[in-house]
Structure 1
């Protein structure tokens, strides 16, 4: 299984564990749709993906340690400029940890799940090719 050049253990704020658990039980329709389709993909059979995973001071929507991949499903609250700045800073920090971040909009997931999964498949193939 390919692994990116990651620390074996990413830092996380332990106080976020309960909040992550709550978020898993309150998934959005787009997150549920994505999770359902992700679980049908061959990559899901090859490795483990987590939902609502604490990393650093953040809780990411989906995470795969083996691929060093974070997947975020962004809703309407990610549109305002302040939220975009926070998302940019969040992505920069995650990337500084050696992770690759993919972002999809809720409407993309709901209206074009096949396209979203196709992008995900291509990114995973790129990651596999990059592995030593």
Structure 2
């Protein structure tokens, strides 16, 4: 892989990331234990990328999945999310976001959507 896209990591966030893995939200637990943990491609939980901790990351297709609660829908947090997404995209990482309510109410559709996106990324990046 081209070194321009080598993903930086802020090691000082590792302890916090480990703590977040131990204390996942109900929606994160559901997505992890009922889908991503056994997905054919490896996903990581609470992955440190740069100065950010991403909910889920699949390195083989460079995909970040973020689960957003209500706190992400005010202007200040939305601006932070845009900045974070721009940083990740600068490393050729695709970012997808799902509202927590979708995990609770349309879990099967979210899983199908993720699977479709992963397969599309495999196709377009090979």
Q: TM-score range by the shorter chain?
A: over 0.9
Q: 1-side partners of 2:25 and 2:62: how far apart?
A: 24
Q: 2-side partners of 1:105 and 1:14: how far apart?
A: 28
Q: What number of residue pairs does the alignment pair up? A: 126
Q: Unpaired runs of 5+ in structure 1?
A: none
Q: 2-side partners of 1:29 and 1:107: how far apart?
A: 11
TM-score (norm 2): 0.92
Q: Of 106, 116, 128, which aligns to 2:122?
A: 128
How much has 1:121 moved relative to structure 2?
A: 1.1
Task: Name the counterpart of 2:89.
Answer: 95
Answer 1 or 2: higher relative contact order, Cα 8 Å, separation at least 6: 1
C-alpha change, 1:6 and 1:63, in structure 2 (3 Å) is: farther
- Does 1:48 pair with 2:45? no
Task: Name the counterpart of 1:83.
Answer: 77
Q: Of 23, 26, 33, which aligns to 1:26?
A: 23
C-alpha change, 1:80 and 1:117, in structure 2 (3 Å) is: same
TM-score (norm 1): 0.88
Q: 1-side partners of 2:12 and 2:29: how far apart?
A: 25
| Runs of 4+ with deviation above 3 angstroms | 4-9
Q: Of 54, 57, 72, which aligns to 1:60?
A: 54
Q: Unpaired runs of 5+ in structure 2?
A: none
For the 8 Å contact 2:64–2:94, the answer to whether it is kept is yes
For the 8 Å contact 2:5–2:92, the answer to whether it is kept is no
